[in-house]
Amino acid sequence: MSPSRTPSANAGVEPQPLLFDERFLKRLSRLTLVTRQARAGQFQGERRSPKRGQSVEFADYRPYVPGDDFRQIDWHVYARLERFFVKLFVEEEDITVHLLVDTSRSMSWGTPSKLEMAVRLASAFGYIVLNGLDRVAAYAFGNGTQRWPARRGRRAAVSLFSWLHALVPSGTTQLVRAISQYAHKTTQPGPLLLFSDMLVEGWPEALRTLVARRFEVTLVHILSPEELDPPFHGDLLLRDCERDEGVEITLDGAMLARYRHHLATWRASIRRWCAERGVRYVFVSSDTPIEDVIFTHMVQYGVLR
pLDDT surpassing 70 at residue 57: no
Q: Is residue 203 within 8 Å of 279, Cβ to Cβ?
A: no
Instruction: Map out the domains of the chain with their CATH numbers.
Output: 14-37+94-300 (3.40.50.410), 44-93 (no CATH)
- How far, in Å, CA of 235 to CA of 246, rounded? 13
CA 75 – CA 195 distance, rounded (Å) = 53
Asked if residue 17 has pLDDT above 70, the reply is no
Question: What's the DSSP call for residue 158?
Answer: H
Cα Dmax for the chain: 89
CA distance 229 to 256: 9
Asked if residue 265 has pLDDT above 70, the reply is: yes
- 63, 69, 71, 73 alpha-carbon torsion, rounded to 10°: 10
Residues 6+ apart with CB under 8 A from 196: 100, 101, 102, 107, 118, 173, 175, 219, 220, 221, 222
Residue that wins the pLDDT comparison between 162 and 239: 162
> What pLDDT, on the 0 to 100 scale, is given for residue 115?
97
Of the chain, the percentage scoring pLDDT greater than 90 comes to 59
pLDDT of residue 83: 84
pLDDT digits (tens, 9 = 90+) for 142-177: 989 999 999 998 889 999 999 999 999 998 878 999
In this prediction the pTM is: 0.78
